[in-house]
Amino acid sequence: MTMSIILAVLALSVPVIIRLAKGRGSTPQVEQIRSVDLRAFRNLVDPEEESYLHRNLPPAEFRRIQRERLRAAVEYVKSAAFNAGVLMRFAEAARRSPDPGTAEAAARLIDNAMRLRTYAFQAIPKFYLAMIFPGRRISPARVAESYEQMTRQVVLLGLQYPTGKISAAL
Amino acid sequence: MLSLSLVWHIIWFSRVTASLVLFLVIIRRQLYKQFPLFAVHSAWIAVAGMAVVALDYAPFVSGYQYFAGVAISSGVEAALAFMIIYQMFMQRLEHYPVVRDLGTFAFRATTVVFLITAVALAWLVPGQAPNQLFAAYSIVQRTVRTLQCGQLVFLFLFYAYFHLSWRSRAFGIALGLGILASTSLAVNAIHSQIASGKTWTPSEYTLESANEFTYLLAVLVWLSYLLAPDQSTTLDSGLPDHDLETWNRELERLLKP
């Protein structure tokens, strides 16, 4: 009975929470975009950098440092995924543009933003797993590539549609 | 003071009347073109609701015949609800090819997981009922509602994670289904633990009144969303001004990494 009631409460509360959340921040703002330093992120997940630290640090120290680095990498991925979400809401509006070029650029941006959120969804558990087992290899390169591609698409969209200061904020 | 039975009947009649109004609104506003399956669902809950009321008052109808009527009404309603949830999800994914495969796979996986959970619950906690027929009906209903709740939770979370836009009417339909499935599941779970015999106790009447009331609430939610103008929950306007200089800087940055 308890499990059924928990599921029932979930089914009822999830749409309400989503509706309330949407109502609070229905218009995305450029200020919402979080700063993401791709170079720093790449450095944090670079296997060579990790090997170098492994070779030169005592094991306990390496594990502590590696956890810190992975924690920072998770924050970067979360920020990139968050930015993708904000951009998608801008691009949804542009997708309805009567100009086919703008609509196409917006559709591509949405595709890339979705791809990035998919990668982020897969990468974050891997990072946490690597925090528990330092030394475990992860390959989050696709997140960085996808983020770069998304940034480029924002620029392309901006040439055809007013997207303001978004790319500068990325 | 009103008896519990009378309260239950008043809510039941109100719900059937509201279902009929809902169906008439769908016909009058030609919303069946936009939501054909939901139109069939509304027609069914209106017609089946009236038929069950008629069965309740017909002197020649036995208890088992009435029960069969209720079971058919619920069974068809549940099948239509499954079809609505599936169609709602798949139609929206058509607009987002990047997540179509992932979404389809995840939806199917969620369905299988919740089906296994529901069957395991039915097996491990069958609950109490006056006879085997009622027990079987109760178990099937609980399994169906568990599955629907699971699918709806997945649907809402998937849409939220990928920021998929909801048309307000589609959201209203999903919300109403969520209210209906979740309350029915909770009531069924509690009822299976307190059911005593062939005659209803005051607590069973209270529980069924709550169930009917939330069914009425779901119908009113559908009505309110269908009567309101359809809107998208994503951004429609209010984009910041174009800033050419920033874009030029950005292009330079990309050309010279």
Residue A14 contacts B where some CB pair is shorter than 8 Å: yes
The residue that leads in pLDDT, B196 or A129, is A129
Q: What is the pLDDT at residue A168?
A: 55
Residues from chain A that touch B238, judged by Cβ atoms under 8 A, are: 27
Domain-located, residue B244: no
Determine, yes or no, domain membership for B252.
Answer: no
Domain membership flag for residue A10: no
pLDDT digits (tens, 9 = 90+) for B146-197: 899 999 999 989 988 888 877 778 888 999 999 999 888 888 888 777 766 6
- B contacts of A3 (beta carbons < 8 Å): 117, 121
Phi and psi, residue A137, nearest 5°? -80, 135
| Closest CA relative to residue B174, chosen from B233, B117, B121 | B233
More confident site: A8 or B255: A8
Report the first-to-last Cα separation within chain B, whole angstroms. 79
> What local confidence, expressed as pLDDT, does residue A138 receive?
63
Q: Looking up tokens 């920033």, which residue turns up?
A: B246
- Assembly ipTM: 0.72
Q: Is residue B238 part of a domain?
A: no
Residue B250 lies in a domain: no
Q: Using CA atoms, how far apart are residues A11 and A7, in angstroms rounded to an integer?
A: 6
CB pairs under 8 A between A and B: 146
In the predicted model, residues of chain B with pLDDT beneath 70 are 1-2, 127, 129-130, 195-200, 231-257
Nearest residue of A to residue B180, measured between CA atoms: A12
Total domains present in chain A? 1
- In a domain? residue A9: no
Query: How far is B164 from A83, CA to CA, in rounded Å?
Result: 15
Establish if A24 belongs to a structural domain.
Answer: no
Number of domains in chain B: 1
Q: Report CB contact under 8 Å: A14, B190.
A: no
How far away is chain A from the Cα of B150, in angstroms, using its nearest Cα?
7
Q: Is residue A88 a part of any domain in this protein? A: yes
Residue B234, token pair as written in the block: 């994503």
* Residues in CB range of B34: below 8 A, 6 or more apart: B169
State the Cα–Cα distance between residues B192 and B196, nearest whole angstrom.
Answer: 9
pLDDT of residue A27: 59
In a domain, A19, yes or no: no
Question: In chain A, what residues touch B233 (CB-CB under 8 Å)?
Answer: 22, 26
Kindly state whether residue A5 falls inside one of the protein's structural domains: no
Domain ranges, residue A84 = 30-169
The reply to whether B21 falls in a domain is yes
DSSP annotation of B229 reads: P
**Cβ within 8 Å of residue B43, ≥6 positions away:** B23
> Would you call A15 and B238 a contact, using CB atoms and an 8 Å cutoff?
no
Composition of chain B by helix, strand, coil, percent to 5? 80, 0, 20
Confidence of residue A59 (pLDDT cuts 50, 70, 90): confident
Query: Structural domain of residue B142, as residue ranges?
Result: 4-227
Q: Which of A11, A151, A152 sits opposite B178 (nearest CB)?
A: A11
Enclosing H/E stretch for B234 = none
